[in-house]
Amino acid sequence: MQFDESNRLRERAKRLIPGGAHTYSKGDDQFPQLSPGFITHAKGALAWDPDGNEFLDWGMGLRSVCLGHAYEPVLEVVRAQIEKGVNFTRPSLLEADLAELLVELVPAAEMVKFAKNGSDVTTAAVRLARAYTGREVVIRCLDHPFFSVDDWFIGDTAMDAGIPQSSKALTKNFPFNDAAALERLLEANRGQVACIILEAAATAAPAPGFLERVRELATQHGAVLVFDEIISGFRWNVRGAQHYYGVTPDLATFGKAMANGFSLSALVGKRDIMERGGLDHAHPRVFLLSTTNGTETHCLAASLRTIQLLRDTPIIDENWQIGRQLREGFNALAARHGIGERARMQGVDISPWYAFYDADGKVDMGLRTLFLQETIRHGVLIPYIAISASHRQAEVARTLDAVDKALKVVAQAMERGSVDGLLVGPVVKPVFRKFN
């Protein structure tokens, strides 16, 4: 497999764009050297690069595409809507149509406000919680990798250059599934916590009783409970992970899968909190969300069609089965190559993830890079796993075939104690690090 054209275009992009990409997780430091630098087009679960290489794609646009790339039933309504205009001087009717559907489906949703990006709605949730409670401290879950591009979150990561100390001091964190740590934080900041924000589930499922206890603690301490459902929404369940796990937050944020890759996000929540962003109250006005392009009509139409399909078909149930098959298939292959202890697919079946470990049990990024390189060599792009309606039995079989071949090389590296001579180019790195 050649990447000559990708390599040529990489140089151009790096000259023009810091990091060569507009999202850190699409950047060169996240992929091996022998990889497609760009995607030119995609259809269903397939994607093509500038050299004409074809890949089975599991990344699906940073998990935003939940049905398939260029999915015809969604494109139909998008095309029709574009013909009618995409942005008007007053709201389109689609705004209330989609808000009504979310209110019908999502337990926490009594009112809805749309935007384009996940970050905008999580930050809106934080501001609203601060205005509603008159408090400033934010508690966020430490094990959830990303909530927002804004200071309240980025200031609490390793990549905090440019963020004022005054902002950093206001964000505290606690580990997932550790309600006692959350309780200690709430006690230590009694009367100051505006909100607690976490994903209902991410790499790990919530331990029995954990989310219920978080709910209880938030209520006891008068803090607004926010679930970031930007990944879990419309994936775990059409009513959200909050329905799946049976715990209702005060506010919740959605994005990614809600419009099959079209740009749309939503803040939803309890009426008495949400209406502070509106025109019918006597409290100080909250600048909740206000965007020029936040309700482009074709994105709302895409979302309506996407959610209706997820609601009316067994797609999500089938996705859970596909995730289980992938996990079991990967782990069986790892065992067959004799590396079951050091190569594992794990997590919640709707969103499985894999990791490689060194002899001491620490995550090994060299082995991860080698695995990525070898799966790419066999036509599968699997930096993470976003299962869509376009991933079914044939895609699982093709993936496990590539995984088998890749694990064979990974096993060689483990035996040698090094990826040297097998991996071409540098090892991938975590996005959140202090220095390049």
Ligand X SMILES: Cc1ncc(COP(=O)(O)O)c(C=O)c1O
* Complete DSSP assignment for 235-280: TTBTT-HHHHHT---SEEEE-GGGGTTSS-EEEEE-HHHHGGGSSS
Distance CA 218, CA 196 (A): 7
Q: Which stretch binds ligand X (CB under 6 A): 52-60, 70-78, 118-126, 289-297?
A: 118-126
Angle at 270 between CA 267 and CA 275, to 5 degrees: 80
Binding test (CB under 6 A) with ligand X, winner from 122, 123, 351, 399: 122
Q: Which stretch binds ligand X (CB under 6 A): 112-120, 334-342, 361-369, 408-416?
A: 112-120
* Complete DSSP assignment for 355-366: EEB-TTS-B-HH
Distance in Å, CB of 146 to ligand X, minimum: 5
Distance in Å, CB of 414 to ligand X, minimum: 31
> 231 or 410, CB closer to ligand X?
231
Give kind and range of the element (H or E) at residue 174.
strand 171-174
Using CB under 6 A as the binding rule, the residues of this chain from 51 to 70 that contact ligand X are 62
Binding test (CB under 6 A) with ligand X, winner from 55, 146, 152, 234: 146
Using CB under 6 A as the binding rule, the residues of this chain from 199 to 258 that contact ligand X are 199, 228, 230-231, 255
Distance in Å, CB of 230 to ligand X, minimum: 4
Distance in Å, CB of 242 to ligand X, minimum: 14
Binding test (CB under 6 A) with ligand X, winner from 118, 155, 261, 269: 118
Q: Which is nearest to 418 in space by CA: 359, 372, 339, 348? A: 359
Q: Applying CB under 6 A, does 151 fall inside the site for ligand X?
A: no
Distance in Å, CB of 116 to ligand X, minimum: 8
Distance in Å, CB of 411 to ligand X, minimum: 32
Name beta bridge partners: 113.
267
Half-sphere exposure of 211 (CA within 13 A, CB side): 22
Query: Quick check: helix, strand or coil at residue 181?
Result: helix
Using CB under 6 A as the binding rule, the residues of this chain from 259 to 298 that contact ligand X are 265
Distance in Å, CB of 107 to ligand X, minimum: 19
Distance in Å, CB of 264 to ligand X, minimum: 9
Q: Which stretch binds ligand X (CB under 6 A): 12-20, 53-61, 116-124, 403-411?
A: 116-124
Q: What are phi and psi of 372, to 5 degrees?
A: -60, -45
Name beta bridge partners: 252.
227, 268
Distance CA 51, CA 373 (A): 16
Binding test (CB under 6 A) with ligand X, winner from 117, 167, 203, 308: 117
Neighbours of 358 (CB within 10 A): 14
How distant, in Å, are the alpha carbons of 31, 95, 209, 274 from that of 300?
A: 33, 7, 36, 20
Using CB under 6 A as the binding rule, the residues of this chain from 335 to 374 that contact ligand X are none
Using CB under 6 A as the binding rule, the residues of this chain from 165 to 204 that contact ligand X are 199
Contacts with ligand X by CB under 6 A: the residue count is 13
Binding test (CB under 6 A) with ligand X, winner from 30, 81, 92, 119: 119
Give kind and range of the element (H or E) at residue 112.
strand 111-115
| 8 Å CB contact between 150 and 123 | yes
Please give the residue whose beta carbon sits closest to ligand X in the complex: 118
Please give the residue ranges that form the binding site for ligand X (CB under 6 A): 62, 117-119, 122, 146-147, 199, 228, 230-231, 255, 265
